[in-house]
Amino acid sequence: MTKAYHIDWNTNTLTMTKKFAAEANRYGTEAYNIVMDMRSKGFHIVVRESTPRAACPTRITFKKMETILSRMDYADERLEQLHAVMDAGKGTNNQYEYVRRWFLHNYPNFNEIPALNTNCRIVGPRVTLLPEDTEPLKISA
């Protein structure tokens, strides 16, 4: 049994993925030969439906991060920190995951109803990315 297809000998059924089915449509491929062999033996051919990806509440885009931070108190400072983390993340294998982890660490309750201050700005935690006397990160391309 492979992940691309499954043979059920009890019900005479060949269940395959959409990718395997697409490969089986090309004459001469191994997938084509398997499907034709099973068909000649009287097997029913079924294409497995893909399972939809579950919604993840912590999947947040860069644009959404910027929108959330722009509506908070000290928005300019927070956006500057976000952009510094985004620049630092360019040097990693996965920039998005780097920035996402930073964002979730500093703003774990971003998807809850926010508290507002007197100026109708979202009150959030004070986050310091760099010491006050340090220049922002500059990453050259």
pLDDT at 126: 64
In this structure, the answer to whether residues 41 and 72 fall within a common structural domain is no
Bridge partners of residue 7, in order along the sequence = 14
pLDDT at 96: 92
| H-run or E-run covering 6 | strand 5-8
How far does CA 102 lie from the centroid of its chain?
15
Q: Where in the sequence is the domain holding 131, given as residue range(s)?
A: 58-141
**Considering the domain boundaries, does residue 52 fall inside one?**
no
Q: Are 5 and 16 in contact (CB under 8 A)?
A: yes
**Considering the domain boundaries, does residue 132 fall inside one?**
yes
pLDDT at 130: 45
pLDDT at 129: 54
pLDDT at 43: 93
Q: Are 129 and 85 in contact (CB under 8 A)?
A: yes
pLDDT at 128: 53
pLDDT at 108: 83
In this structure, the answer to whether residues 41 and 65 fall within a common structural domain is no
The C-alpha atoms of residue 127 and residue 135 are separated, in whole angstroms, by 16
In this prediction the pTM is 0.51
pLDDT at 2: 56
**Regions of the chain short of the pLDDT cut 50:** 1, 130-134, 136-141
